[in-house]
Amino acid sequence: MARIIDGKEISRVVREQVAAEVTALKERGIETGLAVIIVGDDPASKLYVSNKKKACESCGIKSFEYALPESTSQEELIALVRQLNGDKRVNGILVQLPLPSHIDEQEVILAISPEKDVDSFHPVNVGRIMLGDYSFLPCTPAGVMELLARSGIEVEGKNCVVIGRSNIVGKPMAMLLLHKNGTVTICHSRTRNLADVTRRADILVVAVGRAGFVTADMVKEGAVVIDVGMNRKPDGKFCGDVDFDNVKDKASFITPVPGGVGPMTIAMLMKNTLTAAKLQNGIK
C-alpha cells in the first residue's frame, strides 16, 4: 500500500513559509501584490480565480482582480496588461486561461513583463527553464517537484516518465526532472507501447486529462506515481488520470485527486509572487 502524498498539508506549509516572508517584507515597507485578470464568465476559471484570491489573503499578498466581460478585445486586454506592467503595487500578473477564442493567448502572454510573469509562460521564462537558470518556475511542475522533495523522494538517477507534453505541464515537468538528474522520457498520444515505457518508470508523472487513464498494469511495483490530471466527473466532483484505488496497492508513493498536485499549484503561484516582489526590490 502506497504512502499517500498529502498535497493539501504540504501546500499549507509552503503557504505558511511564504506568509512569513511576506510579513518580513512588509516590516521593511514592501507590500507584495498579485493582479489576476479574468475575461468572460467560465465557471471553472471563476473558481480558480477565487481560490487564488483566497490563497493571496492567507499569505498576506494583496490581490487586484480585474474581471472583464467576454466582449473585451485583445487590444483592451493588452492595454490593461501594459498598465499593470508599470504599476508598482503589482509584482505579479496572471491572466487566467483559457481566453475567449477571439483573443490570441500568445500575444497576451508576450505582453506581460517577464519579471511579473508569475505563471512562467512568457517565452523568456520558458527559455530560462530550458537553460536551468530561472527565477520563476511553472506552478504545476514546480508543485510536483516540491511534493517529491518534501516527501524525501530522490530524483537523481531515477527513470522518470512523464505522460503529456503540454507547454504548461508536460514539457516543463520533464525539464525540472532533468535538472534534478533524472533520466527522463516524455510520452504523448503517438507513443507506441505506452505501458512498456511506463512500467520502467521509478517516478511516473501523469498529465493527460483522461479519468483513470493509468491502470495498475502500467505501473512498476514500488513506483512513485504523481497524478496531475483534473477531470470533472458527472457528479461534479474531480478525479485524476490514475486509477487510484488499484494503483495505490502497487506504488510506493501516490498523490490523490483532489488533494495532491492541485493545491500545490496555487501555493507555488504564491511563492512566485513573493519571488517577484523580492527581485523587483533587489532582495535575493
Residues recognised as catalytic: 52, 96, 119
End-to-end CA distance of the chain: 42
Closest CA to 119 of 263, 273, 13: 273
Q: Residue 51 CB, nearest distance to ligand NAP (Å)?
A: 10
Q: Residue 173 CB, nearest distance to ligand NAP (Å)?
A: 9
Q: Residue 139 CB, nearest distance to ligand NAP (Å)?
A: 7
Nearer to ligand NAP, 84 or 147 (CB): 147
Nearest-5° Cα angle at 191, 185 to 196: 70
Beta carbons of 52 and 36 less than 8 angstroms apart: yes
Instruction: Give me the DSSP letters along 22-39.
Output: HHHHHHTT---EEEEEEE
Nearer to ligand NAP, 100 or 212 (CB): 212
Q: Residue 224 CB, nearest distance to ligand NAP (Å)?
A: 17
Nearer to ligand NAP, 78 or 97 (CB): 97
Nearer to ligand NAP, 194 or 216 (CB): 194
**Residue found under cell 522518470:** 160
Provide the b/e sequence for 195-226 (b: ≥16 CB within 10 Å).
Answer: eebbbebbbbbbbbeebbbbeeebbbeebbbb
Burial class (CB in 10 A: 0-12, 13-18, 19+), 38: buried
Residue nearest ligand NAP, CB atom distance: 166
Point out which residues bind ligand NAP (CB under 6 A): 140, 163-166, 168-170, 187-191, 194, 207-209, 228-231, 261-262, 265
Beta carbons of 203 and 191 less than 8 angstroms apart: no
Burial class (CB in 10 A: 0-12, 13-18, 19+), 148: buried
The total of other beta-carbon atoms located within 10 Å of residue 157's CB is: 11
Nearer to ligand NAP, 4 or 194 (CB): 194
Nearer to ligand NAP, 265 or 275 (CB): 265
Q: Residue 194 CB, nearest distance to ligand NAP (Å)?
A: 6
**Residue found under cell 499549484:** 265
Alpha-carbon span 186 to 163, nearest angstrom: 6
Beta carbons of 93 and 66 less than 8 angstroms apart: no
Q: Residue 174 CB, nearest distance to ligand NAP (Å)?
A: 11
